[in-house]
Structures are given as C-alpha cells and as structure tokens.
Amino acid sequence: MIDIHSHILPNVDDGSRDISMSIEMAKLYLQNGIKRVIATPHYIQGSMDNIVKDNKKSLAMLNKELSREGLDLEVVLGNEIYLSISTVNDILDNKVSTLNGTRYVLIELPMYDIPLYMENVLYDLQIEGFVPIIAHPERNTKIIEDPNILYNYINKGVLGQLNLPSLEGMYGSRIKSTAEILLRHKMIHFVGTDAHRNRKRSPNVKKGLEILESLVDKKDFQNISYRNGRNVWEDKLIKVEDPILYEPKFKGLFNLFKRKWISNVEEFRIDSEIYRIEAR
C-alpha cells in the first residue's frame, strides 16, 4: 500500500506532536507493510494555513531522523486542502502542495455540508490540469445521506479516497456503512490511513485492509490499495471504471409496493367496470 493521506509531519497541524511521535508512526507504517507515504498536513485558510516552506523544513527534519534511525520509509510532501473559493489560486501561487508535486490534489470537504461553489472549484482545478481527489467522502454528512452526490462528481472526473479506519467502524456505524456502499459502487479509487498519532488514529491499518479485501474483487483491491497510489506518486494517468448508481433498498421496496398498489387499483377499476356492465 501507498498512503496518500497522512499527518505524519511533526508539529505542523493537528497530527504528530513532535519528531518522536513521527518516528513511532513511521515504525507502525513499516510494521503494516507500508513503505511510501505522502504527508498531507491540513491547509485551512485562516486556521491551519502553514506555508509550504515550513512544511518542507519539517519534512527534511523527519527524513533526516528516519535515515538516522535506519527506517526505510519514504515520505514526500502534499497537503490536505480544505475546499475554498481560493483553492485554485492557492495552488498556482504555491501556497499549498499537490501530492508529491503531481497533477493530483487532495481536497477536504466540510464535514456537514457541501459548499455551493464546490462544483465551480473542481471544474477550475481540472481546467488548470489538476485532478481533484476527495478525502474521506464517507465522512461527509451530505454524501452519507445521498452517495450519488459522489457518483455525480466522479462522472465529472473527480476521484475518491477512503479512510481505512472507516471500514473498522472508528467513526461510527453510519460512516462504516457509507464506506461499504461507496466501495461496492466503484466510487473509491484510493485508501489512506489519515494517521494523526502513534496510538489512536495510527497507521495500524492491517484490519482495515483485510476488510477492504473482503469487500471488493482482487483487481479492485490491487488498484485501490496500491496501483492507483503508485500512479499518483509517479504522476501517471489513472483510468477508472464507471461508478455504479446507488439505489437504496428502501427505494426498491417502495417501488414494489407502488407497483402492487397500482395493480390493485387497476384490478378494482376493472372489477367495478364489469359490475356496472352486469348491473345494466
């Protein structure tokens, strides 16, 4: 696996508190068979708007310590960019980093909403040659309520990244269920750890990978867990299958009852007509 979503950089956001914690996280990555990580510190305008220069310093310090400790973990720079109307300009002005300097951009949505300007920003990103990847869409309330919101964005060239802890139920049962729905409907193209610590929310994701493997076929598992991440790392084009429209089970039941109700009405109408004819 290649992790395209990690908060391993020390002391830059709400992730690793210091270099010691980052080293412990690195050890967990290696124990879980993960040797390549894209560090994606938060970029939230006006809140966590640390500049690329500071992130690069933190990355250099981490890589130096990894080498000193003899830990064979390769870490490169990106950002988890909180969506705003200035996102495109922030990238073009080098205020934020794409994933390993590639065309791929990790975008974070508000937890409880989808901004009205989202579609325009995603479109503008693509016009500039970038490929937006939505971080943990399974945690967005609007997508939980209607997974086809993500379906529509994917049909417009956007990709989706799932947090492996979501499959373990770390964020609750509704998010777990949504994660499974998105996977089964081919709306997820990457998995990430979204690791913040060396204990809770850590890179220890073996169980999540096992669950992933049980939910998708072998080809999709390889693509989601490794191949697509490798193509991001190497800035190669990613070709994905068409997503599948989600149809809730209750909708199917509703349609069944609706057809039965119409059928009963038709039978009643026919019986009434026959009765009237006979009465004449």
| CATH class (in words) of the domain with range 2-246 | alpha beta
Which tokens go with 167? 């499959």
Measured from the Cβ of residue 39, the count of other Cβ atoms closer than 10 Å reads 28
pTM: 0.88
pLDDT digits (tens, 9 = 90+) for 151-161: 999 999 999 99
Any idea what DSSP says for residue 101? G
> Cα angle at 16 between 168 and 84, to 5 degrees?
80
The residues facing 108 across adjacent strands are 82
> Can you give 37-73 as a three-state secondary structure string?
EEECCEEECCCECCCHHHHHHHHHHHHHHHHHHCCCC
- In this prediction, residue 258 carries a pLDDT of 45
Per-residue pLDDT tens digits for 25-68: 999 999 999 999 999 999 998 888 778 999 999 999 999 999 99
